[in-house]
Amino acid sequence: MRVVIQRVSQASCTVSGTVTGKIEAGLLVLLGIEDADTADDLEWLAQKIVNMRIFGDENGLMNKALADVNGDILLISQFTLFAQTKKGNRPSFIRAARPDKAIPMYEQMKTQLQSLLNKPVATGIFGADMKIALVNDGPVTITIDSKVKE
């Protein structure tokens, strides 16, 4: 699994003119799932997302996690995070999991994040043409790959 995490002061997802998810301060999480991903990858990554200390403390240092600032999550499926671009100019997405694997894992990630935060997680619609609006706070943008844990 791969994620791009953006610390935001607000973010929303719109599909066909309807807002499907909206948050104020928190994290926009773009989630890519590949065929090789397991429940262990999911659990490790969910813990990492929730406990990542990227919010400012009283001294302006990134020392606080999402729960410390009562932040929210907007979780968006993003198969393009597994784009392979070495050959030619058209990306290949062969490593991205097919919907029959990716949808259940996306739903499990949502459930896991909600459990860890003890609050709902806003989402987009898997596979839809989503329009994401955000105000990146910082800017702070971090990428994490569950296969690279060192």
What is the helix (H) or strand (E) element at residue 42, kind and residue range? helix 39-51
- In sequence order, the β-bridge partners of residue 18 are 15
Give catalytic status of residue 80 as yes or no: yes
Distance separating alpha carbons of residues 149 and 115, to the nearest angstrom: 23
Q: Which of 14, 18, 80, 85 is catalytic?
A: 80
DSSP code, position 60 = S
Q: Which two tokens stand for residue 139?
A: 């800017």
Annotated catalytic residues are: 80
